[in-house]
Amino acid sequence: MTTLVEMSVDDGVALIALNRPEVRNAISDALRAEFVAALERVASDEGVRAVVLTGNGKSFCAGGDISGMKERLKAPAGEVAFNGWRRQGQTHKSVALLHGLPKPVIAAVNGAAAGLGCDMALACDFIMAAENAQFAMSFVKRGLVSDGGGMYFLPRRVGLPRAKELIFTGRSVQANEALAIGLADRVAPVETLIADAKAWARELGRGSRTAIALSKAILDRTFETAEEQVFALGRQAQAVCYTTAEHQDSVNSFLQKTDR
């Protein structure tokens, strides 16, 4: 049986690869279930310091499986909405797990990231685009709205007016434009994309796991949180950091080197 989501760990970096290259890694219910399981594994694995998400083949992810959409529309009219609501719960669970991982996550976008695939890339902390990458909030072309967090994440990356333009038109954004407008953080050659993303992930995950996890949790809330609440969260996080072996070991190591 084919594994729809492949995962490997090398030097503290987990590589998660969507594995339906024959349909450009379109998201099916089965793939989503395996993706959730993979995210839960890396979240609990203390040996994983950072994560790289990519797609096998020539695309990152083409979005939702159109053939699956057609099948869903065959349900009795009175069941379509409830079935959709229930499935959306699974979509949101996977995106929430991806966005909420307590370690740095890089989307290594090889080729097309369209619709839900673009939403998934946006849910990551950083986006590294291959030179041939293309991004498209293509939901409008199927008479749909972004359902994987894109309407939350995209304005935070590119600003509200540009996010509206990209969502209303569904147009494709090439790698260089993505970099220029902040949709992508770095561009890499196709041949070295994964190696470059892994190297960046190792750099991002090198620090204190506790400090990174707590910082990420607070930073992801800063646009919705008042200043005094951010300060309060910071105080609580710092109190936790004071108790960690990572902090104590680093202080002792620094002082020992200073004494020499």
* 99 catalytic per annotation: no
Q: What is the 3-state secondary structure (H, E, C) of the chain?
A: CCCCEEEEEECCEEEEEECCHHHCCCECHHHHHHHHHHHHHHHHCCCCCEEEEEECCCCCECCECHHHHHHHCCCCHHHHHHHHHHHHHHHHHHHHHHHHCCCCEEEEECCEEECHHHHHHHHCCEEEEECCCEEECHHHHHCCCCCCCHHHHHHHHHCHHHHHHHHHHCCEEEHHHHHHHCCCCEEECHHHHHHHHHHHHHHHCCCCHHHHHHHHHHHCCCCCCCHHHHHHHHHHHHHHHHCCHHHHHHHHHHHHHHHC
Asked whether 23 and 68 are in contact (CB, 8 A), the reply is: no
Annotated active-site residue in 92, 99, 119, 247 = 92
Asked whether 158 and 166 are in contact (CB, 8 A), the reply is: yes
Asked whether 120 and 107 are in contact (CB, 8 A), the reply is: yes
* 247 catalytic per annotation: no
Annotated active-site residue in 65, 119, 125, 147 = 147
Catalytic residue ranges: 92, 147
